[in-house]
Amino acid sequence: MSTAPPPLTYRDLFRLPSSATMAILLTLMLVVGLSEGVGVLLLIPMMPLIGSGIGDGTIFGFGEWLSALQTSHAALLLLAGFVAVITARAIAQYWHSLFALRVEIAIVDGLRQRAVESLLGAEWRTISALRQSDNSALLITTIDRLSYGVSQALSALAIAVNIAILLFAALLLSPWLAGSAILIGGLILLAYRGFRRRAQRLGTQLNATFRDIYGQLDESLAGLRLIKSFGRETHTAQRVNLSFQSMRAAQTDYVKASGLARLALQILGALLLASFVWVAVFRFGQSALVMVPLVALFGRCLMLLSGLHDAWQDCRHAAPALAELNELVALCGAHQEETNRSTSAVTFDKHIALERVSVSYRDNQPAVAQASMTIRKGECVMISGASGGGKSTLADVLAGLLLPDSGALVIDGKALPASDRAAWRRAVAYVQQDPVLFHASIADNLRWVVPEASDAQLNAALASAHAGFVFDLPLGIETPVGDNGHQLSGGERQRVALARALLRDPQLLLLDEATSAVDSATEDAIYSALANLKGRLTMVIIGHRSGLSKLAEHQYSMEAGRLNKTQG
């Protein structure tokens, strides 16, 4: 069992982009914030120009220099500086948006890669126990929500830089007034922590709703034939609609909570700002020349404070998405499959064997109990038995998918190490009862296992699988098979799946109930294909059909996890 990686925090996310990209982004944030503060401060020397002359009230130390200029020239100089600063700010904002997007993409793509690699690298037992619609919801919608949270975290950081620079400008004008404003703003953010906690709870609720929606849609789309045949269209539509209504209710609750918090903050801020101005001017006699730019700075800070709270709240709303991702990565990380770095397949020359193999899934009830068998190279073995007897579990052990709880898979007299199972799977081809075909052409489905295969190799594999019907199709091997192969019949899908397995030129061919859902003509075609392969491939056939049992030199039965030899 592997060790799960430590959970990610928001801080960890910003280590995913390159350090150079993050440095540029932070620099642009600083430039944007500085330009806004400087732009406001440049307006301060304009006030004496509008009134009685130049010099009074400037804070830059160049009042005497300005007073030597004509009023119109000084005003023109200050306004030109103001325009230059705003232009620089606009350019910086443009590049800031591009680098922020680059950071967001790096983070989200890194998270998706982390989740997918954890999932694909986990033990088959762990993967098969997961609800795959939950994984779809996580990889698509949940991480998209986290993408929005990252975007809001970047916005919060940019806003915080802006506020800090504006407050620094305010400190230059009046330290005690600016200090009082900083204290009040901090108290407001502290008072609103309850809203942010509620946002996180609503985020958790929304995650659960999305999982339910994906589960409902996955089941409904997979069962369309069943739904229509039983006339359950209305019932299914109502169930799906209820899930969507729950999602909309969760989203509406969050918008309401966020809107109320914003409304209260803005009203409270306006009241505090008005009270602040009145006290400063009429109680402490603060100069109007200082108060006007201060009001402009504090008014802008108030709007930014509202934006900071919104962004912070949105981050908390998205935080459960990160928690859900961490849960999946931790689960899969704790059950990562051991692998070595070898790229060559594990092969055998004499025989493969199961030695006292046991597998339990739950409550210590064995799906396979102390199973032993030996299969010589080139032999065909048949395993039959009732459903639930453990046949497919045994096939998973033979294929190297499942690590037994006890016992071993033995190759040429040596127990296969857990780290070599992936290499062993390269020598095995698996054809299951319900073949999986991708929404692509027949050629693309075949080349999925051998990307470099030539057309001649594809044709040979199809011929070996007695899938000659492909050559009679209008587009031949370029014929699209549709979603999950539904443009083909069940028997046609099974023969294409067999051709795909044979294209790999496996040492061991496993057929798990491969003919249980096909007609007699298709079974005869598969029988003929396997009969031609007999002696060239080692085959294990799992099923009930007596026709295929004629191919087997040895026959076994399984009942309640017990493997018993019945013939050969």
**pLDDT of 66 strictly over 60:** no
Predicted TM-score of the model (pTM): 0.71
Strands across the sheet containing 538-542: 428-431, 508-512, 538-542, 380-385, 554-559, 562-567
pLDDT, residue 545, reads 59
CA dist., res. 560 & res. 367, Å (int)? 7
Candidates 527, 530, 508; CA nearest to 518 is 527
Instruction: Note the maximum CA span of the chain.
Output: 114
Structure tokens at 2: 């592997």
Helix orientation angle between 175-191 and 143-173, rounded to the nearest 10 degrees: 160
Assign 57 a pLDDT band (cuts: 50, 70, 90).
very low
Dump pLDDT digits (tens) for 229-257: 667 788 878 888 887 888 788 778 878 87
Residue of 44 and 316 predicted with greater confidence: 316
Dump pLDDT digits (tens) for 417-465: 888 888 888 889 988 878 888 889 999 999 999 999 999 999 999 999 8
pLDDT, residue 508, reads 92
Residue of 566 and 273 predicted with greater confidence: 566
Q: Are 137 and 214 in contact (CB under 8 A)?
A: yes
pLDDT, residue 318, reads 84
DSSP codes of every residue in 458-516: HHHHHHHTT-THHHHSTTGGG-B--GGGTTS-HHHHHHHHHHHHHHT--SEEEEESTTT
Dump pLDDT digits (tens) for 501-538: 999 889 999 988 777 666 778 778 888 888 888 888 89
CA dist., res. 276 & res. 183, Å (int)? 13
Give strand pairing partners of 359.
368
**pLDDT of 364 strictly over 90:** no
pLDDT, residue 55, reads 38
First to last CA, the chain: 39
Q: Stretch 385-413: mean pLDDT, rounded?
A: 88
**pLDDT of 175 strictly over 50:** yes
CA dist., res. 485 & res. 468, Å (int)? 17
Number of other CB atoms surrounding residue 501 within 10 Å: 25
CA dist., res. 360 & res. 369, Å (int)? 8
Structure tokens at 286: 């603060």
Quote the percentage of the chain above a pLDDT of 70.
86
Dump pLDDT digits (tens) for 107-133: 888 888 888 888 888 888 888 888 888
Q: What is the CATH number of domain 10-334?
A: 1.20.1560.10
CA dist., res. 164 & res. 359, Å (int)? 62
Residue range(s) in the chain whose domain bears CATH number 3.40.50.300: 378-403+416-567
Q: List, in order, residues 6 or more apart from 306 with CB less than 8 Å away.
A: 262, 265, 266, 269
Using DSSP's 3-state secondary structure scheme, residue 35 falls into helix
CATH fourth-level superfamily of 378-403+416-567: P-loop containing nucleotide triphosphate hydrolases (3.40.50.300)
Residue range(s) in the chain whose domain bears CATH number 1.20.1560.10: 10-334
Question: 47-51, 158-162, 274-278, 352-356: lowest mean pLDDT where?
Answer: 47-51
pLDDT, residue 59, reads 45
Q: List, in order, residues 6 or more apart from 43 with CB less than 8 Å away.
A: 78, 82, 293, 296
Bin 347: left if φ > 0, else alpha if -120 < ψ < 50, else beta. Answer: beta
pLDDT, residue 517, reads 63
Assign 70 a pLDDT band (cuts: 50, 70, 90).
low
Using DSSP's 3-state secondary structure scheme, residue 384 falls into strand
CA dist., res. 536 & res. 465, Å (int)? 14
Q: List, in order, residues 6 or more apart from 215 with CB less than 8 Å away.
A: 131, 133, 134
Give strand pairing partners of 360.
366
C-alpha 553, offset from chain centre: 48
Assign 73 a pLDDT band (cuts: 50, 70, 90).
low
Question: 147-161, 367-381, 491-505: lowest mean pLDDT where?
Answer: 147-161
Structure tokens at 548: 């295929």
Q: What is the mean pLDDT of the chain?
A: 80
